[in-house]
Structure 1
């Protein structure tokens, strides 16, 4: 007979839907999205050069999503 397993309560830092607090030396959300957009752009070019069509397409969609996120975020800052 085995003992019932108790679930641990999740540790929360603030309200729901909030991202974890930034640690020293880490950039914010905007910096992360900018980095992702740059890296995905380079990976997309690599996929294109090697004729990896599906990867090229998916990475393009990822780049569009990251760019859109940055565009909307900068638009909110202007408001």
Structure 2
């Protein structure tokens, strides 16, 4: 069993080094953001259908953030 302090220290040192640990089968950041945007879109429709106004709004903001992240990353790659 790993001690919590050691686990945090390892994660902190990886973050400081700028590397991202990915489990086998996981995609990169863009794939994760695209997946989140897709799932949030479906959840937003569900919230709207059930008249959950605050959730609908918050999920909409989350989708906008994910879409913006993808747009900016693709724009940086073109430069």
Does TM, scored on the shorter chain, surpass 0.5?
Answer: yes
Q: Give CA deviations for 1:19-45 in whole Å, capped at 9, x if unaligned.
A: 522222110000000000000000000
Give the TM-score of the pair, scaled to structure 2: 0.81
In 2: Cα distance, 1:52 partner to 1:35 partner: 23
* Aligned positions, number: 72
CA RMSD of aligned residues (A): 1.8
Q: Which has the larger radius of gyration?
A: 1
Query: Which residue does the alignment assign to 2:63?
Result: 63
Unaligned runs of 5+ in 1: 1-6
Q: Give structure 1 regions of 4+ aligned residues with deviation exceeding 6 angstroms.
A: none
Higher helix share: 2
Q: 2: CA distance between counterparts of 1:30 and 1:42?
A: 19
- Alpha-carbon spacing, 1:41–1:19, altered in 2? closer, same or farther (3 Å): farther
